[in-house]
Structure 1
């Protein structure tokens, strides 16, 4: 790992010219002290790194220094394969590998193309952390050591022990046969089987993981897209889900559908509003979704949902009632 970091350090200096120890530490996700030790190691190996002191000082390479440093390691190559989604790489614990791989890709470009590519990249921003309303994207943090252990078991085809905290349950150790990893809207999932039954585990709820030497019981080939579709269908049609009949203004129709698990029926009313039968994960999900739409939607049934929304609206109105 240190060899890869040293390569990344040299590539950063080649592409940026001069960088402070603090900036290098941030880019490499290590401490400033580690950066200084790496600089000493590079100097001892004959790489011409020199320090510039002062307010705008830092470390730089002697002009014209060239060397072959662009070989991709396994994780970097894997990161590039999932680079269509930067957050996908993050969800699978490959964020730092992706950054390192991209440095090597840029360094491998002909010099005539390098500046053009770098300039074009500055004109593109993909999947920022906030939207136009300054709402931060919800990303789930999974410790790198845990997701790396899960990833190794998936690729090696070995059984996996995980300590998993299911919703509203105490954490328990489980032995699973890993099949693959899926990321959806910045949330990572492990698809596996347990005692021959399909199981789906949210990576953010995996508290510990251990790859075993025993081979996993799984088919040699898998269609992850099909497997995910089948599990999504079972999820939408099982559990404590509730069906709700809703009248919604056409302008908010997509907002309603985006929060629902499925749309069963849809038709237009005489006044132009839409009448939909939709399913939600549970009663709390249904109440939350309808509350977001305020007066742009009306839950027609079930009656308990209407009563719950009425109680909440009455409490809010009472709280904000003008003082006498």
Structure 2
């Protein structure tokens, strides 16, 4: 514990011009006397610590003193700091913040970052992510209610293995004790998440990368063709960017979207209906009929009785 404190103090002094003993004592929850002893140890280790007197006095490193920068270039450091900063804010991880301070000592001063990463999502309960990460690290079994793609609500118990951020959403991968197999759950569909005191042994082995693979695309892929009006171009491009697109003189656009079993793809129907009158399905005809039926059923909810 003392060694960790000493290392953290060194990086703190490297990143700040002057730090008072009282500030250090409060941060590391020790007495000022202990801080003074720690400073003596740091000096004995060869670090050029300078003591500043006065109301704004404290301790700092000698001007120009920096750690060896040969291991990481400025680009590497800036990128790592950006990613870690986002992780630190999402998970409220003090260790990540400590790593950021250490990286800042080898970075180029006053260098503006050319990268920004935001891993937060308003659709996920902010308390769930830190709890699930704790469960992964401490190997706690997690219980929760889950609504699947078929709108079926079940209660699950799982051994969490890995958190995964993709397509703007957080997922958790692990061994589902309820189904007795590995599953991936979307956090927005998880409710009443509970970390139980029960633990599991670290026996999980990965045979593939977590996430969707091309193996899910079978011979049932069919092309969905939609005509997008000028008022829905931006939203359609956000949803279907990497597809065949053709723009027309009137400002509209035709999209050809390859979809695995489009008549069964509830996610596709949700997206298409979200465009409102801004998009029309041209092919396949059966998908047009399905959307028409859904719209008629929706209209019935708003009929005046």
Normalised by the length of structure 2, the TM-score is: 0.56
Superposition CA RMSD, Å:
5.3
Are residues 229 and 99 of structure 1, via their aligned partners in 2, closer, same or farther at CA, if it must alter by over 3 Å?
same
Aligned pair count reads 254
Q: Pairwise mapping of residues 217-296 of structure 1 onto structure 2 (< 5 A)? A: 218-219=204-205, 221-224=206-209, 227-230=210-213, 233=216, 245-248=225-228, 255-256=235-236, 258-259=238-239, 273-276=253-256, 281=267, 283-288=269-274, 290-291=275-276, 295=278
For 1:103 and 1:202, the matched residues in 2 are separated by 33
- Comparing 194-203 with 42-51, greater Cα deviation is found at 42-51
Question: Does structure 1 residue 298 correspond to structure 2 residue 280?
Answer: yes
Question: Does structure 1 residue 119 correspond to structure 2 residue 110?
Answer: yes
Are residues 95 and 202 of structure 1, via their aligned partners in 2, closer, same or farther at CA, if it must alter by over 3 Å?
farther
- Structure 2 residue aligned with 1:174: 157
Q: Is the 8 A contact 1:17 1:60 kept in 2?
A: no
- Structure 2 residue aligned with 1:144: 130
Q: Which runs of 5+ in 1 are unaligned?
A: 26-32, 71-79, 131-135, 154-159, 238-242, 314-324
Q: Is the 8 A contact 2:85 2:96 kept in 1?
A: no
Normalised by the length of structure 1, the TM-score is: 0.53
SS at match of 2:212: helix
- Structure 2 residue aligned with 1:209: 195
For 2:207 and 2:82, the matched residues in 1 are separated by 21
For 1:96 and 1:86, the matched residues in 2 are separated by 11
Offset of residue 93 of structure 1: 3.8
Q: Which runs of 5+ in 2 are unaligned?
A: 41-50, 69-77, 300-305
Q: Pairwise mapping of residues 5-154 of structure 1 onto structure 2 (< 5 A)? A: 7-18=7-18, 34-35=26-27, 37-38=29-30, 40=32, 42-47=34-39, 53=55, 57=56, 60-62=58-60, 64=62, 85-86=83-84, 89-90=87-88, 93=91, 95-107=93-105, 109=106, 117-120=108-111, 123-127=112-116, 138=122, 140=124, 141=126, 142=128, 144-153=130-139
Which one has a larger percent helix, Structure 1 or Structure 2? 1
